[in-house]
Each structure stands twice: as C-alpha cells, then as structure tokens.
A and B are shown apart, each in its own frame.
Chain A
C-alpha cells in the first residue's frame, strides 16, 4: 500500500515540519529520535493533541503529547500568560501540520486540515484501530529539556505514492538531524 520510498518521504516531510515549527525561535536546538509506538502511547503529559490532514484517498493523523514537566511548560508557555500548556502547544502543532500540509500540497492540490482537538492520553493506544498503513513515533527534545512525543499515522485504502520535489535546503544541508 505504501512503498518504502513513500514511507521515508512522508517521515522526512513530517520531521522537516516538526524541526521548523515546534521550536519557539529559529536556531533553537531540536533533536528528534525515532521511538516505539508503545512508548508513544504511554503517559508523559496531560492529554494528546490530534490533528488530521485529509485528501480524497488518504488521511494523515498526527498526534502530539507534550511532557508535563516544568522545562517543557516553561519553554512553550513563557510569554503566554493565562494559557495552559496544551493550549499554547496546540498553536505549534497547528503550524507543524500546516507545514506538512504545504509539502503535501505540492503533489496533492486537494487537501484540507482539521483544527487541533485534545483527547485523554489513554486514547493514544487506539490509534492502531484506525488501521494505519504507516505509524511512526518520535521523541522530540528541544533545547535539551523540553520534550514532545509526536506520532504520524497514514491511513489509505489505495496505494499512495509521495515524491515531493527535491528541496534545495535539504540538498545543501544534507540529512535531517536524527539523533
């Protein structure tokens, strides 16, 4: 259903989006490591933030969980008085999915994006009930202290090929930082 190349391209597009948007300032260090689905389903914060990008024949579901510790809270909520960590982070998740959507748009002009929705963390383990053809989870650490769990699930009933145009930045800068 999904070729290895498509899986790699979708992962890369998601990681580029995460790298570019989950930091408060360009230049903040962002380390991303692949993680197991079981790890992604465990509790580390208040809830999970769900967002969907849909096209006619496929949908991408992204799931984020921000760690409930002080370093993560401080990183994302500094300067956002009166907002909870989940509220503040939903804006970052929105930007991340927007960036991923733009990458997809180059090949799939008919796509749309949902708004974020917060669910209890225990819902995460049921993501596989949606029968995703691809399920990738990542442990994201920003500035060495703020932690985010991110998962990308791809659901489709028809073969999907994703070959984004080659990016100049990727060519110049080489591989994405994967620690």
Chain B
C-alpha cells in the first residue's frame, strides 16, 4: 500500500518533470521566435519610422515614431534636385511587366516539356537553364554595353528589358517546371475519358489547375526584375532608370548631405506593395522559391 503511493508519487513527479521540460522547451521556442521576428523586422521598421520623421530630426534615435510627418513622401517625388522617382516607379513597373510577360509566355512551354515529356538531353537542358539562372550579371554587361553603344540603344527600354530576360526566364522555367510536376495531370486524361475534347480538357481542367502556379511564378519573376540593379545602373538613362537606380542615386539639396528621410520614404513606397503581395501569397511564394532546390 505505502509502496503503491510512493510509486504513484514518483510517477507524478516524473510526469511533472516532463511537463516542465516541455514547457521550458516551448518557452525557448517562443524566445527564439521573438529573436527571429526582431532580427527580420527591426531594420524594416526603422525604415518606415524614419520615412515618417521630420527632416530636422533625421538622426533622432528614439525607437518609436516621433515628429511624424508626410513631407518626406512629397520630397521623394520632388524633381527639383534632379531626382525622378515618380518616373522611375513607372519605368520599373513597365520593365517588370514586359519582362514577366515575355518570360512567362516563352517559359511556360519549356516548363511543360520539362515536367511532362520524356526526351533525351532532358538533364542537359535542365542543367543549362539552372546554370543560366546562376549566371553572373557582370559577364554580360561588358559586351552588351559595347553592343548597345554601337547600335544606339543605350538608355532605351529594350536595353534594360533584354538583359533582364537572361535571369528572369531561367527562374520562370524552373519554378514552373517544379509546379507542373506536382499537378495531377491524370485529371486531364479522366476528362478526355469523360468525353471532353482536348481543348475542353485544357480549358476546364488544366487551366484552372495551372493558374495559381503561373500566377506565383509571375510574382517571383516580377520581383526579381523589380530588384535588378547592376545592369540598370549601367545601361539606363535618366529617363528610363528604374527605382533601384533612382534610390541609389538619390540626391538632396546639399551634395554632401544624404537626404535619408526622403530616401527611406522612397524605399517604403518601393517596398510596401511587394511586402503586401508577398505576405498575401506567402504560402505559394515559399513553395515557388524553394521549388528548384528540394522536391
């Protein structure tokens, strides 16, 4: 009897110890999660805080928003110091849309072939496309610089769009390839068996299934074009420069003084739509980002 209670007490203690250990592990997870959150978000938060701070208090280091103003956003679009941020925004959108459209239009066929068909040299083609996506931009810039100078394309939109395709197209192809591999293609055959024509099967079964994959790929393609800096910094003119170049060269009233608050406002404008897009389609985007590497 007494040994029984002792045993039970022992078991209780063991269970409580296990529970404590569990709780402690949970606690550590939360602390780690908090550290990750702060590490990832604090610099971005700081950008937004400074974007809303009066110019006179640029170097104010109080962590919470102080001296809040919208002036910086007006300064960001101000063209009197030679900045063309508004124009640059339009340029980036235009270049991004064209590059994305071309890459998707061409890449979707290649992705279909790579995911669905059996043919010789498949691994060679895959290797070529993956190699192309890892290609250093500087290796392209010199001949393109000379070529575009010779044919008078320097500073034109096509001079920015064509090199962008060199890294957006491979990205598009291998992201879509791995999405297409995951799709339940048997449904196409089932639809045919059920009496659909090839066209109907494609329209009613394949398109709705492929649409999210294509859309996610489009977002990834647009983001990588939107972020491009190296090629644009060399081949664009004042009239065609994208936002990345405009922000890097942002000038203030005094040449020696960097107009940080206006730059942070411009940075916020450039970033917020992307962040919203990314957060809304988070799950799909993570799948697309990691598609090439695992699976």
A joins B in a complex: no
Measuring CB to CB, which residues of chain A are less than 8 angstroms from any residue of chain B? none
